[in-house]
Chains A and B, each alone.
Chain A
Amino acid sequence: MALFLAPLSFSAWDDINMTPGVNAIAQEIFGLHMTIFWICVVIGTLVLGFMVFLIIKYRKKEGVEPADFDDNPKLELTWTILFALILVGMAIPATSTMIKAYDDEEGDINILITGHQWKWQYEYMEDEVSFFSNLTTSLDARNNIAPKTETYLLEVDEPLVIPVNKRVRFLITANDVIHSWWVPDFAVKQDAIPGFINTAWTFVDEPGVYRGQCTELCGVYHGYMPIVVKAVSDSDYKDFIQGKRDLKAQQALLTEKLWETDELFAIGEEVYLKNCVACHQVNGAGIPPVFPALAGSEIVMNDKGRQVEILMEGVQGAAMQSYAEQLSEVEIAAVITYTRKAWGNDAGGDGEIVVPKEILDYKNNKL
């Protein structure tokens, strides 16, 4: 095997092996992996080597009779015990690493991670900051029209930001189907399961950007929900949290503003391209029957109330989720306005727009 793979040395070692990781537990798991790997390589080489020897040495020859023994209980018992000993030798370090990895004490910072089809939501429990993290790789790049960058499919609009030298605990769950949150550099892979909260943790020494992907098949865009974690210094982290809080306050103010249709339409188009095209497509045609068309839809053209409700509550039993927390009031109003104006819907329907205040009122009436 090694022979025919030799010409492939164009790939660096990192590209063909597990990452050593950036925290103690990941490094320990990497060490365990390499130990077991080399034991397996030695066993494999001995077995395959012995096989090659047998193939060469005992090929049929004139005048050589085959032996006729058919067992050797002592020998059989010996190798059975030998296998057991090798396995015990593997189990001991594996158990000790397992115990270290399974540590669910509270962290200095606790982050609730929720998997949605097909994005991650991060909620800083102590600071009451929450945001969604979406893939930013353009459709053009995915369709081979635009060039692909080094971070193709591994880039997001809002990375998870964590401080270095702090114990960060992740509480992981899901909103719809099962996802799995994996960052190889942290050796954290934990299934995100609706109705369950799993825990995992990390402690990073070095600032840096660490990338991962969803690793449990979660529907059509499973391959398009990456994870990006930015580890920053403590002061940068504080600035980040403050920035998020300020943004929230600003957005609340925006609902008071008087909005022009064109303004909403422009914001709405942006929101639509980021959040809606995966299912409803750029031209609003959807992929029926799973993802309904918005262009020419009766609700989108003539039933503003129901459309607001769908955006705010989601649709039970379908992929359509609630956007009440994912998008600001302005964004929701804008995207509804956009869909009511685009693709000839304004000509076919009542053409009414939705302003942010209406979304705010919807929220307040619910309370």
Chain B
Amino acid sequence: MSAVIEGHHDDHHHHGPAKGISRWLFTTNHKDIGSLYLWFSFIMLFIGGAMAMVIRAELFEPGSQIVSPEFYNQMVTNHGLIMVFGVIMPAFVGFANWLVPMQIGAPDMALPRLNNLSFWILPAAFGVLIATFFMEGGAPNFGWTFYAPLSTEYAPPTVTYFIFAVHIMGASSIMGSINVITTILNMRAPGMTLMKMPLFVWTWLITAYLLIAVMPVLAGAVTMMLMDIHFGTSFFKAGGGGDPVLFQHVFWFFGHPEVYIMILPAFGIVSHIIETFSRKPIFGYESMVYAIASIALLSFVVWAHHMFTVGMPIAGELFFMYSTMLIAIPTGVKVFNWLSTMFKGSLTFETPMLFAIAFVALFTIGGLSGIMLAIAPADFQYHDTYFVVAHFHYVLVPGALFSIIAGVYYWLPKWTGYMYDEFMGKTHFWLSFVSVNLTFFPMHFVGLAGMPRRIPDYAMQFADYNMIVSVGAFLFGLSQLLFLYVVLKAIFYGKKATGQVWEGAKGLEWTLDSPPAYHTFETPPNLESGEAKA
């Protein structure tokens, strides 16, 4: 790797950030916007998490506990919406903002003003969504999948605000994706060909295309809902000749690629971390790229595996079963590549590596339960039970969320210039690791034993496991307060970090100071002479 050191070019009209609140409101700097996204997502994590705590408190024992069934449904719905659209997605966009320019040697994102706009409409969207709690009729209560006609003819009046909020979130994602794609395709340092790009950049390039492809589909779904509710159309109204199942097809045509939007950037983050702490280049870079691309392509032809019980013809059932099973191949390739990267490496286990290893292990469990769910006839028994809840929480919590936490520990010293407290980080890891399994592993069993999802109260035979799950959930929730503490402690009292930070870290971002200057790579590094593969 050639030495590419960011120098200070005094002839350039160099300026630092503006002062006070206007720095954040009007910023077009990718680092500032990255931080805004990450803090926003962090705050939403605690709001969505608090809702999960309400859910688990209600389910602690059989019988009505602390909230009414109506409020319980509002919690279930908003917990899902906030975690998906307010936590996981913005966190990954935050990573993209911070890292894509630094990893490809670009000075900033290609469209900085658009970048500012795509962030600042997000708090507006979630402001609208959360405001519905204080309106007549209460917040949306039809599940994050908002199946019609429950979300149209039978919805509370606030559904219109919900539709508006979803539109804004979609606009934000689409603008963000355009920015990422434009940046990656046009602003790479000379010599960085596509197949030399760091894997995180690759995962985001593909994720951005997925977002552009499916966000308009979601917008279409909610617009049809709006028309049905206010303008007398019958897209989803059986009484008017419409089709409630159409809603599910449209929703899941968005929804399944959406699932991969929430996991592909995680693959990128984890690849970098495992490589660094194995002190060995990533195994099978090319097959990693092809695997990501095939997962993305397959995500468009598997949507109806969420709908095995709607009464599809058998040809449909079989097609969606086979196509879903196919996804196991590229996913398996990735897991084996990570293991092969560790093979004959020189491993150390700092906090980011612990979270990354836990990601691979627990994501594998989520993947295997995914194969079970793909088996259509068996899915008749699994569908809409806690088995499904266990499955998707395994891929989203110890999956996506762990990768985000790992990434924060990994790049925090680079972003802030300060090291976090390693002992506290490891404590956070072990608490999270134990409690996440305590929360989600028993859900497999209650699901198989027959507990439907989204119910505020349950039959007696599910009592023991639900109590364990609730205890695990409370512990997991509390552990994340420790995460906040570790991050704040690093920022305010951390030891100075070096530019390299980690012994084995490779890639352009590690050639910069910690923290990097406000503007970096104003002159692109020239990589033509050397390798810049992450």
Contacts and interface: CB of A to CB of B under 8 A. Distances in A.
A265 to B, nearest CB: 29
Interface in A182-206: 182, 184, 187-191, 193-196, 198-199
Contacts of B381: 18, 29, 33, 184, 187, 189
Contacts of B349: 55, 59
A235 interface: no
B456 A98 contact: no
Given A36-B371, A98-B376, A195 B346 contact: no
Contacts of B287: 71, 76
Interface in B60-115: 62-64, 69-70, 73
B64 A142 contact: yes
A202 B524 CA distance: 69
A27 to B, nearest CB: 12
Contacts of B326: 87
A40 B369 contact: yes
Given A71-B284, A91-B325, A95-B318, A29 B441 contact: no
Interface string B252-286: 00000000000000000000000000111111111
A198 B317 CA distance: 14
A289 interface: yes
A33 B449 CA distance: 13
Contacts of B360: 51
Given A36-B371, A220-B73, A80 B245 contact: no
Contacts of B458: 153, 223
B309 A178 contact: no
B59 to A, nearest CB: 10
Contact of A219 (B154, B332, B336): B154
A26 to B, nearest CB: 8
B149 A71 contact: no
A177 B336 CA distance: 44
B195 interface: no
Given A36-B378, A44-B364, A54-B347, A189 B336 contact: no
B157 A289 contact: yes
B333 interface: yes
B528 interface: no
B361 interface: yes
A94 B329 contact: no
Contacts of A194: 149, 238-239, 244
Interface string B373-386: 00111101101110
B156 A290 contact: yes
B452 interface: yes
Interface string B126-137: 000000000011
B422 interface: no
Contact of B346 (A10, A48, A65, A90): A65
B342 A87 contact: no
Contacts of B441: 1, 5
B314 A102 contact: yes
Contacts of A55: 342, 347, 349, 357
B238 A195 contact: yes
B423 interface: no
Interface stretch (A144-152, A301-309, A336-344): A144-152
Contact of A143 (B64, B314, B339, B465): B64
A67 B280 contact: yes
Given A66-B280, A194-B244, A213-B452, A48 B364 contact: yes
A176 B237 CA distance: 10
Interface string A66-92: 111111100110011001100100110
Contacts, number: 296
Contacts of A87: 325-326, 328-329, 371
A29 B378 contact: yes
Interface string A242-281: 0000000000000000000000000000000000000000
Contact of B63 (A51, A101, A144, A287): A144
Contacts of B64: 142-144
A190 B245 CA distance: 13
B182 interface: no
Interface residues of B, number: 101
Given A60-B346, A187-B380, A91 B368 contact: no
B322 interface: yes
Nearest to A152: B460
B449 to A, nearest CB: 5
Given A32-B377, A153-B459, A58 B343 contact: yes
Interface stretch (B140-148, B204-212, B412-420, B489-497): B140-148
B377 A97 contact: yes
Nearest to A34: B378
A190 B311 contact: yes
A37 B382 CA distance: 12
A217 interface: yes
Given A8-B468, A176-B149, A195-B238, A79 B378 contact: no
A316 B249 CA distance: 26
Residue of B62, B153, B375 with most chain A CB atoms under a 10 A cut-off? B375
B280 A54 contact: no
B136 A289 contact: yes
B464 A11 contact: yes
B332 A79 contact: yes
A257 to B, nearest CB: 37
A219 B243 CA distance: 19
Contacts of A182: 384, 452
Given A58-B346, A60-B348, A215-B384, A32 B375 contact: yes
Contacts of B383: 180, 189, 215
Nearest to A173: B238
Residue of B142, B243, B452 with most chain A CB atoms under a 10 A cut-off? B452
B468 A98 contact: no
Interface in A117-141: 117, 141
B365 A44 contact: yes
A116 to B, nearest CB: 12
Given A51-B342, A217-B150, A224-B457, 17 more contacts: A15-B461, A54-B339, A66-B279, A67-B280, A70-B280, A71-B283, A71-B285, A71-B287, A87-B371, A97-B378, A149-B460, A193-B244, A195-B244, A216-B384, A223-B69, A223-B456, A317-B153
23 contacts: A4-B438, A16-B446, A16-B449, A17-B448, A40-B372, A43-B368, A55-B342, A70-B280, A71-B287, A83-B329, A83-B333, A87-B328, A90-B325, A102-B317, A117-B154, A152-B459, A153-B457, A184-B381, A190-B309, A193-B311, A196-B238, A217-B150, A222-B69
Interface of A: 1, 4-5, 8, 10-11, 14-19, 29, 32-33, 36-37, 40, 43-44, 47-48, 50-51, 54-55, 58-61, 64-72, 75-76, 79-80, 83-84, 87, 90-91, 94-95, 97-99, 101-102, 117, 141-144, 148-154, 176-178, 180, 182, 184, 187-191, 193-196, 198-199, 212-224, 287, 289-290, 317, 319
The 7 closest A-B pairs by CB, nearest first: A195-B238, A223-B455, A198-B311, A16-B445, A67-B344, A66-B346, A194-B238
